[in-house]
Structure 1
Amino acid sequence: MDECKFNLAASFVRFSSVGNLDERSLTSISRHMDHRKLQNQHFTALKEKYQVEHNQSAEPDIFLYFILRKAELGIQITEIEFQWLIENRFTKTAGIIDLQQYKTEELQRLEAELLRLRVRYCIPEDAELTIANPISSLLWKVESGGVISASELELLNHDALVDTKKVIQEVLQFSQLKVTYKAAKYLDRLPEEPLFSILKKLDVREQLTDAEADWLLAHDFYETLDIYWQQENERKAEREFSVLKAKYQVEAHPDTSISSPLYTILKKLDAEEALVNRECKWLSKQNLNTLVTLAQHHKDKILFASLKSKYQATQCESSEPTNPLFLILKRLEALNSETSMRNWDSQVIAGDIQWLSDQGLAGTAQILIQTHFRMLKTKYRIFGALAIEPFYEIMLRLERGERLDPKQVVQLIEEGRLSRTGNIAIAHYRLEAIFYEKEYRRTGNRWNLASASSNWRKAGKPEKALQVTETLNWDKVKELDLKAALLVTRGAAFRDLEQLDEAEQCATKAMEYQPESHQPFTLMGALSYDRGNYTQGDDWFEMAVERGATDTDNEIEKIVRMTKQKEKRREVVEYLLNKDPDRYKWAKVYLKPESL
C-alpha cells in the first residue's frame, strides 16, 4: 500500500514538472484519486462492520483489508489469516468472521442433522422431507425432549410413517418412565435396551430378573433400584396379606390393598400383639367379630404375662387367660387402683389368697394380703402406720360379719393401739349390738337388750339404741337392776340425741330402782355439764364415785371432746383448769386454736 502511494505521488510530480498536462492525463489522475477515496471508505466500513478496534490508520492495511474483503465476499478464511488476526489482537474481528463463516454452513448442517433424524426416526428413504416440512419440526422437538401434543402426532398418521409414529411414542414413553423411575441421568432419548424394558416392567409392577436388577446396580441406577425393591416389598406384603386373610378366614372381606387397616391388624394378631382401641372399633364396624374376640384373647394373654411378672407369679406356666390366676391378678391390679379400693368383696379376696397359697404362689399371696390390708385400712379410715398383726385378721373378721373378742378390743383400746371411736371399734360395737339383739330374740333374756342398746350407742347409732327398748313392756321387767340398766342406756341415748329432759327422766327413774348404782348419777353429772351447771355436775359425779364409779374423769374428758360449740368448750375447759390444774391438765390441749 505504501508503495502504491509512492508511485502515485511520483507520477503527479512528473506531470507537474512538465507543466503542460493534456486532458486525458488529468482525467486519469482524477479517476485514480476517486478510486483511492472509495477504497478508504470501503475499508472504514469493513472495519466498522467487523469491529476492528485498535487500527487507527486512515490508510488501508493491505493484509487486514484483504482479509476483511474475503470475509465480506464469503470466501473461506485460511488458518494463516486467522492466526495473523489473533497475533495482531484483532480477536473480536476474528470471532465475528468465524461466526459469519459458521452461518454460511448452517443449511448444510441442518440438512445433515435432518438426514440423521430421518434414519433415527425411521423416515422412509423415498419420503420427501424438507427442512421446512412440519414433520421435520416435530422430529427436532421430540429430539429436544419437548412435549408432543395429540394434534402434532396426527401429522404422522400416514401409512409411510407408521414406524416413525411408533418410535416417537416409545421415545415419549421412555422419557416419562425415566422421570417416574429416577433414571433421568440416562441422556439418550431413544428407548434402548435393557433400560426401556426394565422401566416398562416397573411400570406394570412386574418382577425383574436377577440379570436386570444386576444391570441397574452395575450402571449406578440406585434410585431406580430402590423403587424396584419397594415394589418387591409391596408384592411380598400383598402375598402375606392374602395368606393372613385365608388363615383367619376373612377372605370374603373386600380389602386387598396393603394400605387397608385389616392388613396391619392381621399382622398384629399373627404376632400376638395387642390392638389399639381404634383398631378394635374398626373391626367391630366391619362386623369382623371373630377377630375382635381373638384380639381380646391376645390382649388378655399379654396382660396375663405382664401381671405374672409384676406380682411374682411366673411359676405358673399357663399363658391362657382362662386360668383362674388371671382373674385373681386382675383383681389384685384393680385393688392397687384407688378408684377400685372399696369395690371388692373381702370374702372373694380371702378366697383368692387361699387359692394362691394352695398353688404354691406364696409371694403373690403375700402381695395380695398387703394390698388387701391397705384397702381395708382405707375403708376403716386408718391413716399412718398400722401393724398387720393383729389388725388384718380383725378387719377380715369384721368383713365377714364375725364378732371380735371383746377382751382383745378393750386391751387394744387401753394400749392406745385402737381408737374407741374409730371405724374398727364402731364396726365391732355394731356387730355386738346385732348379736345381742339376736340373743334376746333367741333366749328372751332382757339383759341382752341392755347390751344391745349400749353397743348401738357406742356404734354411734343412738336411734337404734332407743328402738331396742321402745316396745318393751316395763311391767314385765321384775329385776330392779335390769330396769335401772335399761333406763340408763335409754337416758344416755336421749343425751346423745341432745334430748336432755328425756335423758334426765330416765336417770331419775333409774335412781329410784337402784339408788346404789353409780351409773344414773354419772349420767346426771354429764347432763349437768351439758347444761353448763358444772358445780352441780361435780356433785353428781362425786355421788357416783361414792357408789363405786372410777371413770368420772374419763366421762368429763369425753364431754369436753364431744362439745361442738367452741365457746362452750372453752368455758368448760377454763372451769376445770381453775378448779384443779393438775388433775385436769389434759384439758389444756383443748385451748389450742385447732381444738377451738
Structure 2
Amino acid sequence: MTAPNQIDLAHAYLIDDLPGSKIPASRLRDILDKLQEGRPLTTNGFSYLRQLGLVALGQLARGEITYETFREAAASEQIKRQQLLEVERQEKQTARLAREAEQKARDAAYWAQEEAARLARESNPKYITRMKNRALRAQYDVDAFVEQEHLSQLMSILHRFDGGSRLTDEDVLWMTTEGRAYFSEALQDAHHAREAEFYAAEYGRTTDAWNAVNASSHYRKCNQAKKAHELLTSIPADRQKLPKLRSAIATTHGGAMRDLKRLNEALGLGNQAHELTPKDFRPCTLLGAVNFELGHYDTGRNWYDKALERGATERSIDHDLRAIFLRADAAKRNELKAFLLREDPVRYSWVKSLGASKLSSAGKRSA
C-alpha cells in the first residue's frame, strides 16, 4: 500500500489548516507520522498538541476516543480555528485600514499646510518681485551671480528694456563696464536688434542715409547681415553725395558682405571706401580682416598697420584677429597661427592656448 503523503495525513486528521502539518520533518508532521504508524507519543508531543489546541488529537493518540468521535470533535476544533483566524485577519485588516487612514489624514494635513504656505509665499509682494526678476533674467540668459549692489540697477535696465524701451547711453556704458558680467549674448542680440529696428524706422521716416548705416551696423551685431545688406542696397544714389557718407555705407556694406562670406565683394567695397576717405581707419580695418580671411596675411597685416596709423587701436585689431582665428578651419588656423607667431610671438601668444576645442567661444562681434 502506498504511504499517504503529507497533505493526505493533514486532511485525515483535520489539521490541514495548520501549515506545519504539511511540512516534512516538522514537529507536527512527526506526530502525524507516529499516529499513522501506531507509535506512542512522548510527553513533549502531548504538550505540543495542547499548545496548538488539538485536544481531540491528543485524546485519539492516548486511545481515549475512537477515530469517528475524533473526527466530530476535530471538525469542531478546526471550525473554531478558522473562525478565530478569520477574526484575526479582519482585526489586522481593520488595523491596517485605520493606519492607512491615519497616514492619509497626516499626508493631507501636511500638504494642506504646504499649500497654505505656498499661497502665502506666492502672495507676498517680495516673493512675486523675486520670481518676476528671476524669470526676466532667465529670458535674457543673465545667469551670472548678481552682486547685491548691482541688482537694483540691473533689474531696472531689464524691466525697462523688456517693457519696450531702448537701452540709454548710460545703460550701455554700465552694461559694458561695471555690469559687463550681466550683458549676456542674448541681451546684446536683443539690444542690437531693437537699435537696428529703431534706426531703420528713422531712415524710413527721415530718408537720412546715416540712419540706414547705423541700422545696418546693429543688424550685423545681432547676426542679421542679410537685413543690413538689403537696407544698404536700397539707399538711392542721390542720398549718397558726401564722400564720408558714401565711405560709411561702403564700409558697413563691406562688413555685411564679409559676414555673408561674400569676401570678394567685401574687398571691393572696402577698397571703394578707402578711396573715398583715405585717412579713415575703418576701411583699412575692414580690408585687413577680409584679407586675413582670404589667407592674404601679408596684405592683411599691411592694412591693419595703416588702420593703426589712422587711429585704430591695437586692442580692436587683436580682437578682430582672435575672432578670425576662432572661426577658421583647422588648416587656416594653423597657417594663421604660424604667421602671427612669426610676426610677434609675445603679442600673439594667445594663439598657443586656443585650439579646436575652444571654437565655441568664438566672438561674434567683429569689425
Give the TM-score band, short-chain normalised.
0.5 to 0.7
Residue among 333, 337, 342 paired with 1:569: 333
Q: How high is the sequence identity, in percent, across the aligned residues? A: 26
Partner of 2:10: none
Is 2:71 aligned against 1:146?
yes
Partner of 1:181: 83
Amino acid at match of 2:323: R
Residue among 202, 206, 209 paired with 1:446: 209
Where 2:180 maps in the other structure, the secondary structure is coil
1:399: how far off? 3.8
- Pick closer, same or farther for the CA change 1:579–1:374 going to 2, 3 Å: same
User: Does 538-547 or 488-497 show the bigger shift?
Assistant: 538-547
Cα deviation digits, residues 134-174 of structure 1 (max 9, x gap): xxxxxx98981536xxxxxxxxxxxxxxxxxxxxxxx9996
1:443: how far off? 3.2
Give the whole-Å Cα distance in 2 for the aligned partners of 1:511 and 1:578: 28
Partner of 1:509: 272
Is 2:363 aligned against 1:555?
no
The structure carrying a bigger helix percent of its residues is: 2
TM-score w.r.t. length of structure 2:
0.62
Where 1:144 maps in the other structure, the secondary structure is helix
Partner of 2:168: 405
Structure 1 residues not aligned, in runs of 5+: 1-139, 148-170, 183-222, 238-258, 275-300, 317-324, 330-354
Equivalent pair of 1:560/1:572 in contact (CA under 8 Å): no
Cα deviation digits, residues 467-515 of structure 1 (max 9, x gap): 2223221233333322221221111010111111111222222234333
- Pick closer, same or farther for the CA change 1:465–1:406 going to 2, 3 Å: farther
**Which is higher, the Rg of structure 1 or of structure 2?**
1
Cα deviation digits, residues 296-354 of structure 1 (max 9, x gap): xxxxx975641553x5x6xx4xxxxxxxx7xxx5xxxxxxxxxxxxxxxxxxxxxxxxx
Give the whole-Å Cα distance in 2 for the aligned partners of 1:503 and 1:457: 14
Partner of 2:343: 579
Residue among 249, 263, 266 paired with 1:500: 263
Partner of 2:220: 457
Equivalent pair of 1:526/1:556 in contact (CA under 8 Å): no
1:457: how far off? 0.6
Where 2:345 maps in the other structure, the secondary structure is coil
Amino acid at match of 2:230: Q
- Pick closer, same or farther for the CA change 1:227–1:541 going to 2, 3 Å: closer
Equivalent pair of 1:483/1:510 in contact (CA under 8 Å): yes
Where 2:353 maps in the other structure, the secondary structure is helix
Matched pairs, number? 290
Equivalent pair of 1:433/1:455 in contact (CA under 8 Å): yes
Amino acid at match of 2:138: M
- Pick closer, same or farther for the CA change 1:576–1:409 going to 2, 3 Å: same
Give the whole-Å Cα distance in 1 for the aligned partners of 2:225 and 2:293: 17
- Pick closer, same or farther for the CA change 1:411–1:528 going to 2, 3 Å: farther
Amino acid at match of 1:570: N
Alignment of 1:206-217 (within 5 A): none
Cα deviation digits, residues 46-85 of structure 1 (max 9, x gap): xxxxxxxxxxxxxxxxxxxxxxxxxxxxxxxxxxxxxxxx
Structure 2 residues not aligned, in runs of 5+: 1-64, 360-367
Query: Could you say which structure has the greater relative contact order, defined with CA pairs below 8 angstroms and 6 or more residues apart?
Result: 2
Give the whole-Å Cα distance in 2 for the aligned partners of 1:576 and 1:415: 32
Is 2:222 aligned against 1:429?
no
Alignment of 1:202-281 (within 5 A): 230=91
Give the whole-Å Cα distance in 1 for the aligned partners of 2:340 and 2:331: 14
Amino acid at match of 1:181: Q
Alignment of 1:276-315 (within 5 A): 305-309=113-117
- Pick closer, same or farther for the CA change 1:558–1:522 going to 2, 3 Å: closer
Give the whole-Å Cα distance in 2 for the aligned partners of 1:178 and 1:418: 82
1:446: how far off? 2.3
Give the whole-Å Cα distance in 1 for the aligned partners of 2:180 and 2:276: 38
Give the whole-Å Cα distance in 2 for the aligned partners of 1:561 and 1:461: 18
User: Does 425-434 or 506-515 show the bigger shift?
Assistant: 506-515
Equivalent pair of 2:200/2:211 in contact (CA under 8 Å): yes
Residue among 514, 525, 539 paired with 2:288: 525
Give the whole-Å Cα distance in 2 for the aligned partners of 1:304 and 1:465: 58
Partner of 2:36: none
Equivalent pair of 1:560/1:569 in contact (CA under 8 Å): no
Give the whole-Å Cα distance in 2 for the aligned partners of 1:454 and 1:483: 15
Give the whole-Å Cα distance in 2 for the aligned partners of 1:419 and 1:487: 34
Give the whole-Å Cα distance in 2 for the aligned partners of 1:228 and 1:481: 99
Give the whole-Å Cα distance in 1 for the aligned partners of 2:333 and 2:182: 22
